[in-house]
Chains A and B, each alone.
Chain A
Amino acid sequence: MAQDQDLKGWSRLESLFAAYRSACPDPRDSPDFVPRVWAAIESSRPVSWIFPLRLWAQRLALGASLAAALLIGYVTVLQQAPANLDLLEAGQMDALTVESLDEQDAAFWQLASMAENNR
């Protein structure tokens, strides 16, 4: 019984919706609807000077990134350079030390032979 009532209710609602559907008028659009949409699109585009500004900002950001990359590269090379310099300097020092030791040796042997002779 209650189910019958429900079914009746649903079908009444269906009929009402159908009547409403057919009672809604067909939308009438003005003939210039499409051009008006385009005009609205154009007018809501970002302001003309913002676009070049954004382009320049992008280029600037790209340039800054490149410069930063170059700087990092340069600093990295510089950080490695002192080690080479140390090696180079160490080599020179060693050479000088050896040279001075040779000289010292020579002086020592000279002094030693002189003492031997005096004896």
Chain B
Amino acid sequence: MLVEPETIRRAQSGDAAAFSEIIRTYRKRILGTIFRLIGRAEDVEDVGQEVFVRLYYSLDQLRTAEVFEPWLYRLTINASYDYLRKLRRTRSVRMADISLDQLSAADAAESGRRLTDERQKKDIREMMDFLLGHVSEDDRVLLTLKEIEGLSLKDLGEVYHVNENALKVRLFRARKRVLRAYEQLKKQDQL
């Protein structure tokens, strides 16, 4: 945990300085997660702000300081969902919209080459956005948390309140769908 349990307990009892410390400590991580979940840099801070406001008003419901991080992730996911719902964002990137540049960026990434060019980075982001569009919003969030955020199955179990085996099955299916979409895309490119 990035902050001491004592800091969380102080924030729970209304200590503003302790709450500010929590914001300062977690803001980067939370804003990064939000960016990867909603994919719109211009709205990340607004959603992040919403997460911390929700945290402030729900902190007294937190039973123990030890489960603070999964709690914060849950709030982040919910705020991101709400944002996406409000936006009614449809992932309308079609296969035809995927450019050759994006595919070659994916090839480069696949072979483990480091992407240094900003253009290539943008390409790979758009490409993943397209691929993740092949799974449900829930599975997209789950995949993002596991594969991009690097949360362990145990962490995810605490966030979702489900057992690890159920998560494994869901992740397996979601990965398979993403992989199928990617292979289809590559096949199309070869034609």
- The answer to whether B128 and A20 have CB atoms under 8 Å apart is yes
- The answer to whether B53 and A29 have CB atoms under 8 Å apart is no
Task: Give bound CA distance, A9 to B122, whole Å.
Answer: 23
Given the interface contacts A10-B175, A41-B53, A41-B56, does A26 sit within 8 Å of B32 by beta carbon? yes
- The answer to whether A16 and B49 have CB atoms under 8 Å apart is no
Complex interface: chain A residues within 8 A of B23 (CB):
33-34, 37
A15 at the interface (CB under 8 A from B): yes
Task: Give bound CA distance, A18 to B124, whole Å.
Answer: 10
A21 at the interface (CB under 8 A from B): yes
Q: Chain B, 104-139, contact with A by CB distance < 8 Å: what is the 0/1 string? A: 011011111011000011101101100100000000
Q: How many A-B residue pairs have CB under 8 A?
A: 100
State the interface size on chain B (CB cutoff 8 A). 45
Segment touching A, from B61-69, B92-100, B162-170, B177-185? B177-185
- The answer to whether A24 and B36 have CB atoms under 8 Å apart is yes
B91 at the interface (CB under 8 A from A): no
- The answer to whether B148 and A23 have CB atoms under 8 Å apart is no
Q: Chain A, 30-48, contact with B by CB distance < 8 Å: what is the 0/1 string? A: 1001101110110010000
Complex interface: chain A residues within 8 A of B106 (CB):
16, 19
| B169 shortest CB reach to chain A, Å | 16
- The answer to whether A10 and B179 have CB atoms under 8 Å apart is yes
* Chain B residue at minimal CB-CB distance from A23: B121
8 Å CB interface, B152-190 against A: 175, 178-179, 182-183
**Which of A10, A13, A27, A38 contacts B35, CB < 8 Å?**
A27
| B72 shortest CB reach to chain A, Å | 14
